[in-house]
Amino acid sequence: MKQSLSAVEHHTQIIDKLQAAVFEYTLFADGKRDFTYFSPFCEQIFETKIEKLMDGTSPLDTFIHEEDRPVFLAEVNTSLSKAEEFRWEGRIVTPSGNVKWVDASSSPTKVAGGKIVWVGLFTDQTAKKEIERANKENKQRLELALRGSELGIWDYNYKTNVTIINEKWAEIIGYPKAELEEMFCHCEDFIHPEDRPNYSASIDRHLKKETDFYEVVYRFQLKNGNWRWVMERGQIVEFDLNGNALRTVGTLQDFENRKTQEQLALETEGRYRELVETLPLGIVIYQDNKVVFANEAAASMLGATTPSDIVGLPALQFVHPDFISVSLQRINTLKEGGQVPTIHQKYIRLDGSEMVVEVSAHTLVFRSKPAIQIIIKDTTEERKTQLEKRKTETLFSQLFKSSPFGLVMLNEHGKVVQINEGFTKTFGYTQTELVGNSLNEFIVPEELETEGNDLNSIISSEQIIRIESTRHHKNRTPISVIIYGVPVPLEDKTISIFGVYVDITDQKRIEEELKVRNIELDNFVYKVSHDLRAPLSSVLGLVNLASLEGNDDSLADYIKLIGEKVKQLDHFISDVLSHSKNLKLEVKIEPINLQKLADQTFADLSYLKGANEIKRTVEIEGTSFHSDPWRIGEIFRNLISNAIKYRDFGKSDPHIHIKIKSGSQRATIIFEDNGIGISKPSLNKIFEMFYRASEQSDGSGLGLYIVKNAVDKLGGILKVSSEIGRGTTFELKLPNHTLAETK
């Protein structure tokens, strides 16, 4: 009875018969790593004894092809570091120099003792790769053969110097096939001398791998000595390890008829070019999505020096991005046999500037191929002119519409064509009421009818007039106006009259007020002069008295009296300056601390006689207050000083009470005293310049006048109530300006 094999023996027999090399690679716990097993088939693949592989005499990585070694080592390191599956395909070089393709794969397993073992296979893929290479070569030959019909085909091996040529090539250039194969390596000698440099340059660029394949048209010398145009296409399909060409394949095509057709096309193109170069329009031809022709006008329009600067550029390079979609639709419509209308669009010149063009397009045949001809008319200047015209019209329209003056346009017969809002505001009439009617019937007073008619006649005779006159509002209120009349001529004929009415009613009123102010100014100058001279005269008189011989009066008394007069003069001058400053100084808004202002004012007026006798109280409530600090200070100074000056000497408790309530919109400030009071007849005069309601004070008479003017400047309201023997109350309502207004 035959004894059965153990499991280990059985597995060993199976592994020994495998047409693949089994290996075991171990990563030990101490970090050491090495191959720990190779099956017999390893010797066949690597052509090296297992002992040499196992003892490290011939390390496995030395077999790896130098071009594939970096990837192999990277895969090995990744697999070891991450304990992952290993997979690699590449070339090895055996000691005899054979290059083989192998496939390697293995999976890791953790075993006792902390070791990790990769068990895997090496399989020989060389035969498979040879089949793939052969298939690739056949495919390459087929693809080149299919690039055109009636092609001559060749396949040249640099290593063996063997050329394979088909019968068609021999037929094209008139040589026997065998002779042509023999002369292939030096066939460049048969290329026309004029075409040889271009041929050599094309070959050199391809050998340097600058092109995927080369294509060149040249003249080849036939067997009978004649020349024939041919087109050669070729490609290197195999390189050695140093990048040198090992094998090339290519095709040869008879190009004689094509060259003849091209010559005819060039002649036709020449006549076409002569025609289009005389046109002031830009002519551009697109073919295969590129510019293949442009005339001088097109080159100039598009910012090029010569047409050659734009030939070869993409068809849509000059189209503004906003019009790309429209242009693509037009191109597709033309390719489908349709027609497209002339449109306006934007182009971009070579320098990046924009231009507006009128574009028309149609299809044609150019150099035997379908193409699209674009005719370009530069309308940039035309559009600018139109834009300037519209701008001028818009500016005139806006000026006419928004002018604050009353503007009216009349036709050559004096009838209203148009009025603006300023005219409506000035005279109250609407455009509907006046258009088509004579303007004089509406706004010219009866007594000035002749003047109105004469004006139209004068203006129609192309004279510009300016007069100051009176016209009527719709409600028959007279309006003082300055009238400007301007004729609008065209070809020596007045076609319209343009009238401007400037309302000077307020100006007239101001002039009248100015006359009154001038009278007041004269009075002011007279009064100031008088009030300045009075204390000065007193001072001068006292000085003369003190200087008299034999006068033994006390000089100290004279000096005291002079001091009082000088102080009176100083107060008067201070009031005059305050009045002047109030008239001229612009309102300046700032936050005001009213409590601090009141305290400071009382302190500043403490020098006044009786100031220390008056009891004062100040009540303030509400929000912060914003106004003009100087004017508010003048109001406080004059009203408080009046309360002190006009206190009732017969009362034992003279007082002044200030009550302030500030809100977000306005502040109410009340000054209340228990002084001598003001009589009713005087209440209407106390705010007049230099008016004194009482002889109790020797003031300037400007204090309340300054207060009233300051309140008016601030846009407030001032009220006064008083009763003889009971006292006086001043109530002020002043705007409380917002923080935004203070900025």
Q: By mean pLDDT, which of 69-83, 85-99, 566-580 is the weakest? A: 566-580
616-669 pLDDT, tens digit per residue, is 899 999 888 998 887 888 888 888 888 888 888 888 889 999 999 999 888 999
715-733 as b/e: b if 16+ CB within 10 A: ebebebebeeeebbbbebe
Q: What is the pLDDT of residues 682-691, one digit of tens each?
A: 777 777 765 5
Question: pLDDT tens digit string along 276-294?
Answer: 666 678 888 888 889 988 8
- Say which residues have a Cβ less than 8 Å from residue 723's Cβ, sequence separation at least 6: 677
Mean pLDDT, residues 451-465 taken together: 71
Token readout for 216 is 């060149």
- pLDDT surpasses 70 at 558: no
Q: Which CATH architecture has domain 585-742?
A: 2-Layer Sandwich (3.30)
pLDDT grade, residue 526 (50/70/90)? very low
CATH fourth-level superfamily of 270-383? PAS domain (3.30.450.20)
CATH, range 130-254: 3.30.450.20
Q: Is the pTM of this model over 0.85?
A: no
Name the more confident of 423 and 588. 423
Q: List every span in the chain annotated with CATH 3.30.565.10.
A: 585-742
CATH 3.30.450.20 boundaries in the chain: 7-124, 130-254, 270-383, 403-503
pLDDT at 722 over 80: yes
Give the CATH H-level superfamily of domain 403-503. PAS domain (3.30.450.20)
Q: What is the largest CA-CA distance in the chain?
A: 182
Q: Is 610 left (phi over 0), alpha (psi -120 to 50) or beta?
A: left
Q: If pLDDT is split at 50, 70 and 90, which confidence band does 491 have? A: confident
Q: Could you tell me the pLDDT band of residue 263, with boundaries at 50, 70 and 90?
A: low
Backbone angles phi, psi at 648, to 5 degrees: -90, 110
Share above pLDDT 70 across residues of the chain, in percent, rounded to a whole number:
80
Residue in 452, 480, 451, 485 with CA at minimum distance from that of residue 468: 480
Residue 455 scores a pLDDT above 50: yes
Structure tokens at 673: 């005293």
Q: How is the beta sheet containing 666-673 ordered, strand by strand?
A: 615-622, 655-662, 666-673, 727-735, 717-723
pLDDT band at 1 (very low <50, low <70, confident <90, very high): very low
For 7-124, CATH gives 3.30.450.20
User: Please, which residues have CB within 8 angstroms of residue 254's CB and are 6 or more apart in sequence?
Assistant: 150, 172, 228, 229, 230
Q: At residue 550, what are phi and psi to the nearest 5 degrees?
A: 85, -5
From 11-25, 232-246, 421-435, 561-575, the region with the lowest mean pLDDT: 561-575
CA 178 to chain centre: 73
- Residue 430: per-residue pLDDT: 92
**Cβ-Cβ contacts under 8 Å for 251 (sequence gap 6 or more):** 144, 145, 147, 148, 151, 152, 153, 154, 232, 233, 234
**Average pLDDT, integer, range 76-100:** 88
What whole-number distance in Å separates Cα of residue 483 and Cα of residue 467? 5
pLDDT digits 0-9 by tens, 293-351:
888 888 888 899 998 898 999 978 899 999 999 999 998 998 888 999 999 889 999 99
